[in-house]
């Protein structure tokens, strides 16, 4: 069930939109909008800590749906009018005169809709919601963030446990205790979901003995939803930069390219292999070069392991020992320090019920971490662990849901947003932070800029063991991050329930079925291998974000791209870096509400008309050329915070005071 406090962010975003665009809406609406803002501020303060007193889950669900409908209705009405008013402002004198009657009609319609929304909000206020002061709450949050930010998570990259298992697998790969075969061999690690197969494989791959034995080492994820081409391209990134020519190659040609690169003794780790068919489609790329090369597979399916290697038994990964379990829990909760004596009885009870399953221990540790010294909290978790920890496939979702339910309201949409990225995608932290801000997930704080708040949120999710650090910067800050596939699956399902986003995965060319559910969606993310089906031209009256992330890029005819402004008129976030543009689509200038745009291109000049998009906060341009000229007068774009390019860029001279906060 969704949590009502997350709706406080929606309310805050709408109030911000009204504040930024009062001049466009006009004086006639100023009093009604001010009244609506006041009503929403009271409602926002009231629901911020709603679950602390409301125990009736049915009442929570009903109230949640009512508030969401009210906020979405108001947001749709206001954004639609702002778009209309912006278009009217950009028209010439005669065109404005011609559309005067239409504008008056739209304004009257907005007035009626706002009056209806105010009545609904006031009706909600008359319920028994308690009133909570916003200023004090925000100050407490900021103080906590400042304190927490100075104490980064200790040893975030350390791997706990699997010492004996790592030795066993390394022995299987190197054959140190017996004569090693020069022929290509396949070794499999088998275990249930959440038991640590991927962690063990990474630990093995980073071992010095493996460095010594194998000239080439590659780690590649497959998972249930995979594409043969993506796997081969991922392997090739270990050898070379993927260019446009490679992106256009067929699967078989890429397999041949991989074979040619694997000349010396190699170790390929194929993580999360689900089926025999997947192995059949991949194995041709791995040559037997008679140098003792190995392929290491992780899978939850014993049959797949036996199919990949009929001669040898797979390695069955067991549960953590009691000592390893205790070390892992203390590492995650106390940064490796000892557990206080008064909590050790509860610690033992929790570990007993986690039954040595790493995922259970890690996620439960995330629940305990921010109340690490509170005896009553440990008692509560210890008593309830048995409700959601068991040795079966349902474990993951049960544990993750409990951890999700204990997240603060402001972290929930940020956590669920990880579901928009492809599985095992290495996410640049800077880009994630820009997206969170543009999506409206980061609230304004009185003494911190939004980027610092977002970075704190990310560190919080890492500290709660819900997000993994990929790489760190030289100053210790997070450079890239990723998410466990079980957690990401939860994010995708929960996001649909809360209308955070919808994912378009598969497509039937004879219908537009994947888009049929997008009518009420606020955000759409589309898998890269479905981009070719954009020619169906989906529509979504209320879509605010259109996202597509991929390791490879494709080039689509211009006519299949121009539909975006027509189909998604209220778009605020557009990240389609997986599509290459030969010119900047002129149709994008109609997206007057746009806050964030990320595109890939082959053109040399970024047009001056871009400066008419006054709501833009972030511009990201990835070009294949060495230089880019930006003709847009970015200094006249009052909300622009970030401009990212991957090449030498010239911009108009201006006053720096116009940029940033």
**Does the pLDDT value for residue 562 go beyond 50?**
yes
Give the pLDDT score at 54.
Answer: 46
For residue 195, the 8-state DSSP code is S
Q: Which CATH class is domain 501-658?
A: alpha beta
d(C-alpha 112, C-alpha 108), whole Å = 6
How does pLDDT run across 415-435, given as a tens digit for each residue?
999 999 987 788 999 999 999
Give the pLDDT score at 541.
Answer: 77
How does pLDDT run across 52-111, given as a tens digit for each residue?
444 455 566 666 677 777 777 777 877 887 787 777 766 666 666 666 676 667 667 777
d(C-alpha 565, C-alpha 101), whole Å = 25
List 630's β-bridge partners, or say none.
606
Residue holding tokens 């050790």? 344
With contact defined as beta carbons under 8 Å apart, do 445 and 453 qualify? yes
Give the pLDDT score at 445.
Answer: 79
With contact defined as beta carbons under 8 Å apart, do 297 and 201 qualify? no
What value does the mean pLDDT take over residues 550-562?
67
**Does the pLDDT value for residue 117 go beyond 90?**
no
**Does the pLDDT value for residue 579 go beyond 90?**
no
Give the pLDDT score at 514.
Answer: 42
What value does the mean pLDDT take over residues 154-177?
75
Dihedral sign from CA coordinates of 125, 126, 127, 133 = positive
List 482's β-bridge partners, or say none.
468
Closest CA to 86 of 70, 71, 106: 106
SS3 223: coil
For the chain, what percentages of helix, strand and coil (3-state, to nearest 5) are there?
50, 15, 35
Q: Tell me which of 358-367, 388-397, 415-424 is least confident.
A: 388-397
SS3 343: helix
Greater confidence, 437 or 504?
A: 437
CATH number of 407-494: 1.10.10.10
Report the share of the chain in percent with pLDDT over 70.
73
Structure tokens at 275: 């089926």
What is each CA distance from 522 to 190, 542, 546, 572, in whole angstroms?
40, 6, 9, 10
Greater confidence, 538 or 489?
A: 489
Distance from the Cα of residue 9 to its chain's centroid: 17
Element (H, E) at 513: helix 513-516
Element (H, E) at 105: helix 100-125
Greater confidence, 221 or 394?
A: 221
Give the pLDDT score at 178.
Answer: 62
CATH number of 325-406: 1.10.8
With contact defined as beta carbons under 8 Å apart, do 32 and 115 qualify? yes
Give the pLDDT score at 130.
Answer: 43
SS3 613: coil
With contact defined as beta carbons under 8 Å apart, do 436 and 454 qualify? yes
Instruction: Kindly report the backbone phi and psi dihedral angles of residue 147, in degrees, each rounded to the nearest multiple of 5, phi listed first.
Output: -65, -45
Give the pLDDT score at 126.
Answer: 67
Report the share of the chain in percent with pLDDT over 90.
22
Strands of the sheet with 427-428, listed across from one edge: 427-428, 478-482, 468-472
Give the pLDDT score at 156.
Answer: 42
CATH number of 4-132: 1.20.5
Greater confidence, 224 or 472?
A: 472
Give the pLDDT score at 595.
Answer: 93
Helix locations, 240-337, DSSP H: 244-247, 251-261, 276-282, 302-308, 322-334
Give the pLDDT score at 45.
Answer: 62
d(C-alpha 657, C-alpha 661), whole Å = 9
Give the pLDDT score at 468.
Answer: 84
Give the pLDDT score at 386.
Answer: 57
What value does the mean pLDDT take over residues 248-259?
92
The domain spans of the chain are 4-132, 163-316, 325-406, 407-494, 501-658
**Regarding beta strands 545-547 and 573-581, do their DSSP bridges make them parallel or antiparallel, or are they unpaired?**
parallel
Give the pLDDT score at 52.
Answer: 43
Q: Is 305 exposed, middle or buried (0-12, 13-18, 19+ CB in 10 A)?
A: buried
- How many C-beta neighbours within 10 Å does residue 453 have? 21
List 228's β-bridge partners, or say none.
none
Q: Indicate the CATH number of 163-316 among 3.10.450.50, 3.40.50.300, 3.50.50.60, 1.10.533.10.
A: 3.40.50.300
Q: Tell me which of 24-28, 48-52, 468-472, 593-597 is least confident.
A: 48-52
Give the pLDDT score at 142.
Answer: 41
Q: Tell me which of 47-56, 153-162, 463-472, 481-490 is least confident.
A: 47-56
Give the pLDDT score at 383.
Answer: 79
């Amino acid at each position: 069930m969704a949590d009502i406090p997350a709706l406080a962010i929606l309310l805050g975003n709408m109030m911000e939109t009204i504040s930024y665009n009062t001049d466009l809406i006009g004086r006639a609406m100023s009093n009604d909008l001010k009244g609506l803002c006041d009503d929403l501020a009271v409602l926002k303060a009231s629901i911020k800590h709603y679950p602390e007193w409301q125990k009736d889950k049915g009442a929570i669900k009903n109230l949640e749906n009512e508030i969401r409908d009210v906020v979405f209705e108001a947001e749709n009405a206001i954004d639609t009018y702002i778009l209309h008013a912006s278009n009217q402002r950009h028209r010439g004198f005669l065109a404005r005169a011609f559309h005067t009657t239409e504008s008056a009609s739209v304004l009257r319609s907005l007035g009626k809709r706002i009056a209806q929304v105010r009545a609904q909000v006031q009706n909600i206020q008359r319920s028994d919601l308690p009133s909570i002061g916003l200023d004090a709450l925000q100050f407490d949050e900021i103080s906590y963030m400042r304190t927490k930010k100075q104490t980064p998570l200790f040893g975030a990259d350390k791997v706990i446990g699997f010492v004996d298992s790592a030795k066993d697998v390394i022995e299987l790969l190197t054959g140190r205790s017996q004569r090693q075969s020069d022929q290509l061999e396949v070794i499999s690690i088998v275990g249930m979901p959440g038991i640590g197969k991927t962690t063990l494989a990474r630990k093995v791959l980073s071992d010095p003995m493996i460095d010594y034995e194998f000239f080439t080492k590659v780690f590649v994820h497959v998972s249930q939803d995979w594409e043969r081409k993506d796997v081969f391209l991922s392997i090739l990134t270990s050898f070379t930069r993927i260019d446009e020519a490679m992106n256009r190659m067929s699967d078989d040609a890429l397999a041949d390219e991989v074979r040619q690169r694997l000349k010396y003794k190699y170790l390929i780790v194929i993580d999360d292999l689900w089926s025999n068919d997947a192995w059949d489609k991949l194995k041709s790329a791995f040559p037997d070069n008679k140098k003792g090369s190995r392929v290491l597979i992780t899978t939850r399916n014993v049959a797949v392991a036996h199919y990949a290697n009929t001669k040898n038994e797979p390695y069955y990964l067991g549960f953590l020992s009691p000592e390893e379990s205790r070390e892992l829990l203390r590492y995650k909760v106390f940064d490796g320090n000892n557990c206080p004596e008064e909590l050790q009885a509860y610690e033992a009870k929790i570990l007993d019920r986690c039954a040595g399953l790493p995922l259970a221990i890690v996620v439960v540790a995330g629940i305990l971490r921010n109340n690490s010294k509170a005896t009553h909290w440990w008692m509560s978790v210890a008593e309830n662990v048995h409700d959601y920890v068991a040795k079966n496939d349902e474990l993951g979702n049960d544990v993750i849901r409990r951890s999700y339910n204990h997240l603060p309201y402001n972290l929930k949409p940020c956590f669920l947003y990880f579901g928009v990225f492809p599985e095992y995608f290495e996410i640049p932290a800077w880009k994630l932070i820009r997206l969170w801000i543009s999506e409206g997930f980061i609230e304004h704080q009185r003494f911190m800029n939004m980027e610092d708040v977002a970075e704190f949120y990310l560190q919080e999710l890492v500290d709660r063991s819900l997000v993994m650090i990929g790489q760190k910067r030289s100053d210790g800050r997070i450079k890239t991050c990723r998410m466990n596939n079980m957690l990401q699956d939860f994010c995708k399902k929960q996001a649909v329930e809360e209308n955070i986003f919808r994912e378009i995965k598969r497509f039937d060319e004879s219908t537009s079925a994947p888009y049929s559910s997008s009518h009420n969606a606020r955000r759409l993310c589309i898998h890269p291998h479905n981009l070719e089906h954009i020619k169906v031209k989906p529509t979504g009256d209320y879509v605010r974000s259109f996202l597509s992330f991929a390791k490879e890029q494709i080039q689509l005819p211009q006519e299949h791209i121009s539909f975006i402004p027509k189909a998604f008129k209220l778009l605020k976030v557009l990240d389609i870096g997986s599509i290459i543009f030969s010119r900047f689509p002129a149709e994008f200038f109609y997206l007057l509400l746009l806050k964030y745009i990320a595109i890939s291109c082959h053109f040399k000049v970024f047009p001056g008309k871009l400066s008419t998009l006054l709501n833009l906060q972030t511009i990201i341009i990835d070009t294949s050329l060495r230089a880019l000229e930006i003709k847009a007068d970015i200094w006249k774009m009052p909300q622009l915070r970030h401009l990212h390019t991957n090449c030498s860029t010239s911009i108009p001279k201006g006053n720096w005071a116009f940029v940033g906060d």
